[in-house]
Amino acid sequence: MEIITEEYSIKYDVATATITWQGIMRLNGKEYAPLTTLLNDVMAQEPTQITFNLQGLKALNSSGITMLGRFVFGLQKKKTIQLLMQGSKDIAWQKKSVKNFQRLMPKLQFEWA
């Protein structure tokens, strides 16, 4: 499962249950729908842990943060899947905003590259 455009890409590796995010995502609200579908498909496979590799995601707007927030919120309600986020402190939005996801899912784990 993957979505690749000129500006960004999102790829799911089944073997490691890792979603790798790359590029610049500043889509207009509803344009995030296909990404939400991909995330929901991954959730439906019920791996014990999902890893988000965000180290290549240079920009994300608040609509994108909302999309991620809703996914995290969904996992929290489900309670059976652990989430690990790998981020980079060199990327401004991650350093600033990634902590908020823990408010939605206190067991969420972070790893800084």
Partner 1 sequence: MVQIFGECNNDPLKSQEYLRLRFSPSSAPLQLRWRNNGLSADFLADYLITFFPSEENDPQSCEKEAELKGAVSYIANELLENAMKFNGSTSNVPIKLELMLYSDHLILCVSNHLPSENIAGFQSFIHELLNTEPQDLYVRQIERADQDDNMTTSGLGLLTMIDDYNAKLGWKFESILQEKADNIIQKGFISRFLNKIASLVSSQSQRAKLTVVTTMVQLSI
Report the distance separating Cα 13 and Cα 15, nearest Å.
6
The answer to the question of residue 74 lying near partner 1 (CB under 8 A) is: yes
Report the distance separating Cα 92 and Cα 97, nearest Å.
8
- Compute the least distance from the CB of residue 15 to partner 1, in Å: 30
Report the distance separating Cα 85 and Cα 28, nearest Å.
24
- Tokens 């790798």 belong to residue: 20
Is-contact 7 25, C-beta < 8 A? yes
- Compute the least distance from the CB of residue 8 to partner 1, in Å: 11
Q: Which positions from 8 through 67 interact with partner 1, judged by CB under 8 A?
A: 24, 26-30, 59, 61-63, 65-66
The answer to the question of residue 90 lying near partner 1 (CB under 8 A) is: yes
Which residues of the chain form contacts with partner 1 (CB under 8 A)?
Answer: 24, 26-30, 59, 61-63, 65-66, 69-70, 73-74, 90-93, 95-97, 100, 103-104
